[in-house]
Amino acid sequence: MRTLRTAAAAALIVSLTACGGATSGAGEDEPSAGAKGTVNLAINPWVGYEANAAVIAYLLEKKMGYTVEKKELKEEIAWQGFETGEVDTIVENWGHPDLKKTYIEDKKVAVEVGPTGNQGVIGWYVPQWMVDKYPDITDWKNLNKYADLFKTSESKGKGQFLAGDPSFVTNDEALVTNLKLHYTVVYSGSEAAIIKAAQQAAAQTKPLLFYFYEPQWLFAKEKYVRVKLPEYKDGCDADPKKVACDYPDYVLDKIASKKFADGNSTAYQLVKNFKWTNDDQNLVSDYITNQGMSDEQAAEKWVNEHEATWKPWIPAGS
């Protein structure tokens, strides 16, 4: 495979020199059209995404004979991969209208491949015990009243708002500023770190105000309550610096590189057909996170138990 690629790239250099200049995608893998080739699957850093990817990868490899290369990438970087050919598809995309504009409309290197069936919710949450104790905490207007409860070593004398990975879709800093909240946004660095903090908050009744989202397996184990922010209205988040409203609901979707889509391989069709519910995803996430299964084992278990769900995704003739 690689040797072939080297030869191909060498040939490419020669031909490029002849016709002048190398484009940025030069020398990259040709799309795996037709033949059962390799599918480059971006893996964004949260377990829900991983669940989608696990099942898709499992089906591609075990049921359809493809090779799947998983690439641990943050969202933006995964999008850049469409341009370079490093990434064929992203299987859980949260909005990102700006990226869609750049890569789909302007550069025309990616295309939308339809919804995953998952409903995405982003919000600010507190553990249930806090609502029991301070019933009015679920309104953002009262957050300043409770700021002292949330003080930590990192919050500089204000309350701490715990955010996740810096690459996630967030408006939290703008919200804190624009709603004049006495809070500091502290980035835990990853989904796992937020989950850990949330679990501790529930188990040890520690105060915590944090960024969280659905689909999310943890909601099946513990209760967390969403804090009401000013209601979302169309366009209220147009300027990321002036946002003062809650997050919208997201219809999560899939994106593929133009080359991958144009190849219209059975792999592409599977990605296109893939559609499941939040419960499905939470189940697989739970397997991965809490049952000590690898991605592959989790996918295998789910696939064995849900044939009816995935059978229709497999394109005819594969």
Contacts 24+ apart (CB under 8 A), 239-247: 240/171, 240/174, 241/174, 242/174, 242/178, 243/171, 243/174, 243/175, 243/178, 244/174, 244/175, 244/178, 244/179, 246/123, 247/121, 247/122, 247/123, 247/169, 247/171
Residue 95 within binding range of other proteins, rule CB under 8 A: no
Residue 75 within binding range of other proteins, rule CB under 8 A: yes
Query: What mask, x for binding other proteins by CB under 8 A, covers residues 249 to 278?
Result: ------------------------------
- Do residues 97 and 237 make contact, with C-beta atoms less than 8 angstroms apart? no
Closest C-alpha among 90, 92, 116, 115 to residue 103 = 90
> Segment near other proteins (CB under 8 A), from 17-25, 128-136, 246-254, 260-268?
17-25
Residue 15 within binding range of other proteins, rule CB under 8 A: no
Binding residue for other proteins, selected from 45, 48, 207, 215, defined by CB under 8 A: 45
- Go through 239-270 and write b for each residue having 16 or more CB atoms within 10 A of its CB, e for each that does not: eeeebbbbbeebebbbbbbbbbbebebbbbbb
Nearer to other proteins, 194 or 270 (CB): 194
Residue 73 within binding range of other proteins, rule CB under 8 A: yes
Residue 119 within binding range of other proteins, rule CB under 8 A: no
Residue 11 within binding range of other proteins, rule CB under 8 A: no
Residue 167 within binding range of other proteins, rule CB under 8 A: yes
Residue 199 within binding range of other proteins, rule CB under 8 A: no
Residue 80 within binding range of other proteins, rule CB under 8 A: yes
Nearer to other proteins, 160 or 278 (CB): 160
Nearer to other proteins, 292 or 312 (CB): 292
**Which residue is listed with tokens 């057909």?**
273
- Do residues 183 and 156 make contact, with C-beta atoms less than 8 angstroms apart? no
Work out how close the CB of 135 gets to other proteins at its nearest, in angstroms, rounded to a whole number: 29
- Tokens standing for residue 91: 């299987």
- Our measurement of the distance from residue 252's CA atom to the centroid of its chain's CA atoms, rounded to an integer in Å, reads 9
Binding residue for other proteins, selected from 138, 190, 199, 309, defined by CB under 8 A: 190
Query: In whole angstroms, what is the distance from residue 148 CA to residue 178 CA?
Result: 20
Residue 23 within binding range of other proteins, rule CB under 8 A: yes
Residue 67 within binding range of other proteins, rule CB under 8 A: no
Q: Are strands 209-214 and 110-127 parallel, antiparallel or unpaired?
A: antiparallel
Binding residue for other proteins, selected from 38, 84, 264, 273, defined by CB under 8 A: 84
Interacting residues of 152 by C-beta distance below 8 A, sequence separation 6+: 160, 186
> Segment near other proteins (CB under 8 A), from 4-12, 132-140, 252-260, 269-277?
4-12
As separate numbers, helices (DSSP H) first and strands (DSSP E) second, the chain gives 12, 9
Query: In whole angstroms, what is the distance from residue 87 CA to residue 78 CA?
Result: 7
Residue 72 within binding range of other proteins, rule CB under 8 A: yes
Binding site for other proteins (CB under 8 A): 2-3, 5-6, 9-10, 12-13, 16, 20-24, 26-28, 45, 47, 71-77, 80-81, 83-84, 86, 98-99, 102, 107, 152-154, 156, 162, 165-167, 186-193, 196-197, 240-241
